[in-house]
Amino acid sequence: MQSTSVYLASTSPRRRELLKQIGVQLTMLPVDVDETPLPNESAQTYVQRLSQAKAGAGWDKVEAGQLSLMPVLGSDTSVVLDGVILGKPESKVQCVETLMSLSGRTHQVMTAVTLQLAEKVATQLSVTEVTFRVLCEKEALRYWDTGEPLDKAGGYGIQGYGAVFVQCITGSYSGVVGLPIEKTVVLLNQFNVPFWQNS
């Protein structure tokens, strides 16, 4: 059975735009999921668990609301340095500390994508290496003042002002933005969801 659209279990404008970029028709379906890491949980396990939890919560909404039966896409992104997940900064001090810890170093951006339709669930994981040039604290402070770091994992957005920090990446650019297109297409094909559709 082919679904012509998906539900996006997220309010992320970045994920919405990446899906639209490849011509996927979608309906936003925000969900509320506890994002607290489990004790001794690895970053890879964490992002995959959360993407599955978001897709599952979205599917529960579909069933509870008797909505049209279409696959639900859940995704989660984490910035990881030395095996430690760096969350979204909650203060200027935290943001500056995070950015300076990334300065002149290579970190990983892990994004998991899950599609769920009833009992059928499939997940893909993208891991991208991102290297920052050496930063100064003044830059980090100025960046905080732009307002961009507030809702960004690791305190930066590669698709925005934060691009000036990035020296090079190895892997998926769209995965760093928040939805690895190359992994997402694998899932769309598995669930017979077309892309390249006119909106």
Distance CA 26, CA 32 (A): 19
Q: Could you tell me if residue 199 is inside a domain?
A: no
Predicted structure pTM score: 0.95
Domain harbouring 164, CATH code: 3.90.950.10
Mean pLDDT over all residues of the chain? 96
Distance CA 52, CA 29 (A): 15
Domain of 124, in residue numbers: 5-190
Total Cβ atoms within 10 A of residue 139: 16
Q: Could you tell me if residue 118 is inside a domain?
A: yes
What's the total number of domains in the chain? 1
Per annotation, catalytic residue among 34, 76, 145, 151: 76
% of the chain exceeding 90 in pLDDT: 96
The CA angle 174-178-183, to the nearest 5 degrees, is 60
Query: Is the confidence at residue 199, as pLDDT, over 90?
Result: no
Q: How confident is the model at residue 63, as a pLDDT? A: 96
Model confidence over 127-185: pLDDT tens digits?
Answer: 999 999 999 999 999 999 999 999 899 999 999 999 999 999 999 999 999 999 999 99
Decide if 76 is catalytic. yes
Q: Could you tell me if residue 45 is inside a domain?
A: yes
Longest CA pairwise span in the chain (Å):
55
Distance CA 16, CA 8 (A): 8
Query: Is the confidence at residue 42, as pLDDT, over 70?
Result: yes
